[in-house]
Amino acid sequence: MASKLLRAVILGPPGSGKGTVSQRIAQNFGLQHLSSGHFLRENIKANTEVGDMAKQYIRKGLLVPDHVITRLMVSELENRSGQHWLLDGFPRTLVQAEALDRICELDLVITLNIPFETLKDRLSQHWVHPPSGRVYNLDFNPPHAHGIDDITGEPLVQQEDDKPKAVAARLRQYKDMAKPVIDLYKSQGVLYQFSGTETNKIWPYVYTLFSNKITSIESREAY
């Protein structure tokens, strides 16, 4: 793959604002935002072979194993070999990171370090309308009437995953899986860490980093 294309990864625990930061990077810098969750849903909906494999694990409440998610993401990346991209949700484990390393060289990996209490508070504000999948956040986009879906008037529920005890377990699990991935990228010299409690305060630093990276890649192109 040509080095002049920007290859980036964003890491962060559930509730870290990763999706928001990814969208802003995509909009400001013209990168394709490649979300593993989005590709999984698309493949499950289309009943592809890899989608059917993933569905069997998700149904049982299990994590999709490394070999399934890696196969899915590698084929998506091969289709986008001529684009700048930002990976979100992959790699989650060291095995996935090593598989990604074999097919391309990353320019930068950003990781969002958000205090545990902030994450716990954010995730506990998530309420969902199960039939449609509409998600509300009591802080950012609350429903017009508390506990009621805006469109259907049906009740909202808090998913088991977002209840305090489950949140603590999810965050611990993320930390355990992410540590070797973060250590790998740190050793490669491509890791940049951003800490804080507000996405809007972290964003200017992320913006500056990407501005500098894009410029240096464009100037390499000139030679």
Average of per-residue pLDDT values in the chain: 90
User: Does 87 belong to an annotated binding site?
Assistant: no
Mean pLDDT of 206-210: 96
| Residue 23 φ/ψ, nearest 5 degrees | -60, -40
* Amino acid letter, 20: T
Nearest by Cα to 35 from 98, 86, 104:
86
What span, in angstroms and rounded, lies between the C-alpha atoms of 8 and 131? Answer: 34
Picking from 10, 22, 23, 13, the residue whose alpha carbon sits closest to that of residue 118 is: 13
pLDDT score of 2: 39
Consult the annotation and say whether 205 binds a ligand.
no
170 is in an annotated binding site: yes
pLDDT at 5 over 80: yes
Ligand-binding annotation for 16, yes or no, is yes
Query: Which has the closest alpha carbon to 104: 5, 213, 209, 212?
Result: 5
Tell me which residue of 102, 114, 111, 140 sits closest to 196, measured CA to CA.
114
Q: Do the annotations mark residue 51 as ligand-binding?
A: no
Q: By the 8 A CB rule, do 14 and 171 touch?
A: yes
217 pLDDT exceeds 70?
Answer: no
Query: What's the Rg (C-alpha) of the chain?
Result: 18
